[in-house]
A and B are shown apart, each in its own frame.
Chain A
Amino acid sequence: MSVIYEYPNKPQAQDLDAIHAAVAASAMVDKAIEFCRWDEDAAILQVVWADALDAADKTILDGIVG
């Protein structure tokens, strides 16, 4: 069951490939990111993971996505 992490207030286009690269290069334990999605109309960035992240990994992801 995929888990979606949403980041609102993102009206500008996001570099989704860079998010994937940053996750791969990070200290996260779970790097099984499935995909990212950004919608201009909703100004929302979604990062989808296969499983829920633990608190430490979520903090790192928040730092990557900003």
Chain B
Amino acid sequence: MAFPVGYPDEFLIGARPVYPGMAGPFGNPEESASSDGVSDTTAGTYQNKLTKITNVLPAGRYRVGWYAEGSNTADKKRCDMRVRANGIICGLVNVTQEKANEWQPNGGVYQFNLAIDAAVTMDIYWKQFDGGTARIRNVRLEIWRVN
């Protein structure tokens, strides 16, 4: 990582530069999970693709990030996705395709306050809407502390 000219050495901690105003819990702790394989369903109700239960995290403000690719085996049909953190919806996507089997990338971020030290459960679900087979792959879930 390039380090700006003029910053004294005391801002360096190990190999990671810490800039003025950046000291603190930013980015730590962080946890993540992924599921690369394809999952298909003809269900019209949400099916679980990936769940991540973190270790107990200290109270603070956290950022949840997610990514997933969705498609449907039929033209003009949907692959719906829902992402939650502790049961709160932090991502809701309805992917409608013009042509079948075109993978569409989707992602988002969400911030929330964790009031007490606690584990966080993150999950992502998917389903078809109005027919066809909904497909999902390359799912990523991550969480890290903001402050």
B is a partner of A: yes
CB within 8 Å of B: which residues of A?
A: 13-14, 16-17, 20, 34-42, 48
In the complex, what residue of chain B is closest to A17 when comparing beta carbons? B133
In the complex, what residue of chain A is closest to B135 when comparing beta carbons? A13
CB within 8 Å of A: which residues of B?
A: 35-45, 47, 73-74, 132-133, 137
In the complex, what residue of chain A is closest to B73 when comparing beta carbons? A17
Q: Number of residue pairs across A and B with beta carbons under 8 Å?
A: 47
- Residues of B contacting A35 in the complex (Cβ-Cβ under 8 angstroms): 41-45
- Residues of A contacting B47 in the complex (Cβ-Cβ under 8 angstroms): 37
Alpha-carbon distance A17/B45, docked complex (angstroms): 16
Min C-beta distance of A38 to chain B, whole Å: 5
- In the complex, are the beta carbons of B38 and A34 less than 8 A apart? no
Min C-beta distance of A28 to chain B, whole Å: 17
